[in-house]
Amino acid sequence: MSRFGDDPLAFFNAVYRELPPWEIGEPQPDMAALLARHPPASPVLDVGCGSGDLALFLAQQGCQVLGIDFVAPAIAAAQSKASALPADVARRVDFQVADALALSRLERQFGAVVDSGFLHLLDSEQSERYVAELAVALRPGGRYYLHAFAVEFPVPNVPRSVDANEIQARFSAANGWRILDLYAGTFLSRVAPPVPATCACIERMAAFTQGL
């Protein structure tokens, strides 16, 4: 059973019947700041994109973006937002229902993967699988941008803590990664004070990148 019960899809489908608390109407400010510090290369993959605010932000900045989420109502909301954009921006963004734990099924490689609130939803075994999929999805020199909770809450159905020690262990040079930036930030919601967060920009070393 996951952190979100034995049927996580049902849990998140229920959450999206209303506006989820993490949907703040814009990208998380610390993720936007991380992207400004280390500009991403197209195409960009937004994992766990929700209703698409981060993907749309990147498309408005000129990136070609694919946003994926396993929650169909979230993807429908993202597509609706995209349809309201100027045509030149809307052409740069696509949204699909897909499994972020099976990125290899996309049969594409990306210059960047942005993760604003996905890794911290996964347990240890899922996280290991996800990092392996990231290694396939990123092209040589591609970058992974992470923004995740850095605190544990003693209540069910909330994200876990992702701290600097975990990042350094999972994304080591021995495993083909180079950490370009790693620092503390905050994660905002509409219903609670800012939560401590971990921000990181991590590069996939070319010598280790796997082809499809």
**pLDDT given for residue 210 in this prediction:** 47
Query: CB neighbours (10 Å) of residue 103?
Result: 24
**pLDDT given for residue 7 in this prediction:** 82
**pLDDT given for residue 177 in this prediction:** 98
Instruction: Please answer whether residues 81 and 94 qualify as being in contact, where contact means their C-beta atoms are separated by less than 8 angstroms.
Output: no
**pLDDT given for residue 208 in this prediction:** 67
CATH of the domain spanning 8-208: 3.40.50.150
Q: What is the pTM of this model?
A: 0.94
Residue ranges of the chain whose pLDDT lies below 70:
1, 208-212
**pLDDT given for residue 19 in this prediction:** 87
Q: Would you list the domain boundaries of the chain?
A: 8-208
Cα–Cα distance for residue pair 208/212, rounded to 1 Å: 13
